[in-house]
Structure 1
Amino acid sequence: MDTPEYPKAKVFIIVEIIEYVPNSVVIKTIIKKTTGNVSAVSFDSGEMLTEKTSPFDTFIQVIDGKAEVVIDDVSNLLDTGQSIIIPAHCRNAIKANVRFKMISTMIKSGYEDLPV
């Protein structure tokens, strides 16, 4: 299923365009292109995105609450306003010890010449 982008040329407050849903992780696509995407994500307390790896760097910025971002078994606790870059090809998981919202930005370029 293709997720539509957020409307262009429309002013919005990022933290207000996504709601918390009990026992859920909610993802709202802001921009989706072949070269990358930007998403707003909300996590209810106790929820998580299971461990995975990505072939691309991912920029995470917490916009409400506190997040735990685990990169190659190293836990990073982020407060509102803090950010971290998850390097390409690193194992990572995102956990909500308390509910939080974040922006996730993945750039899908710069790795074209690297061996797989």
Structure 2
Amino acid sequence: MGEEPQDMKGRILKPTELVSYQDGSVVSRMITYTPQGTTTMFAFAAGSGLSEHTAPFDAVLQVLEGSAEVTLAGENFQVVSGDMIILPANIPHAVHATVPFKMMLTMIHA
């Protein structure tokens, strides 16, 4: 870890190894950044999360490890490893890890 996004281009990456769990915390690591969008890896300790918020762009949340509860416009969804959910722009959403949980978030700046 500690590599800059440009150092990761043209290599095989193991997404679950790009971020590590830290007790009581949410750890994030941006792995791509362009004017068109970003890709960020997250590791959530059990019981941690992101409080309800909105984003100005659509985002795709892909579960890499564990499970979590995603709240989208007041509706709760249980997501597990292998699942994806699209978070529409300007719609309130939140993420709460029920167990240690890793995800990849791809935000499309359109």
TM-score, normalised with respect to structure 1? 0.87
- In structure 1, the residue matched to 2:15 is 14
2:27 aligns with 26
- Bigger drift between 11-20 and 63-72 goes to 11-20
Distance across 1 between alignment mates of 2:35 and 2:68: 28
Which stretch of structure 1 is more off in the superposition, 5-14 or 50-59?
A: 5-14
Cα distance in structure 1, aligned partners of 2:109 and 2:49 = 23
What amino acid maps onto 2:42 in structure 1? V
RMSD (CA atoms): 1.0
Give the SS at the match of 1:15: helix
What pairs with 1:101-116 in structure 2 (closer than 5 Å)?
101-109=102-110
Which secondary structure does the structure 2 equivalent of 1:39 belong to?
strand
Q: Which has the larger radius of gyration?
A: 1
CA distance in 2, matches of 1:104, 1:56: 12
Q: What is the Cα deviation at residue 7 of structure 1?
A: 1.9
**Which residue number corresponds to residue 62 of structure 2?**
61
**How many pairs were matched up?**
106
Mark the runs of 5 or more structure 1 residues left unpaired by the alignment.
110-116
Q: After TM superposition, list the pairs within 5 Å mapping 1:46-85 onto structure 2.
A: 46-85=47-86
Inter-partner Cα distance in structure 2 for 1:32 and 1:67:
25
Q: For 1:83, give the aligned amino acid.
A: M
Structure 2 unmatched runs, 5+: none
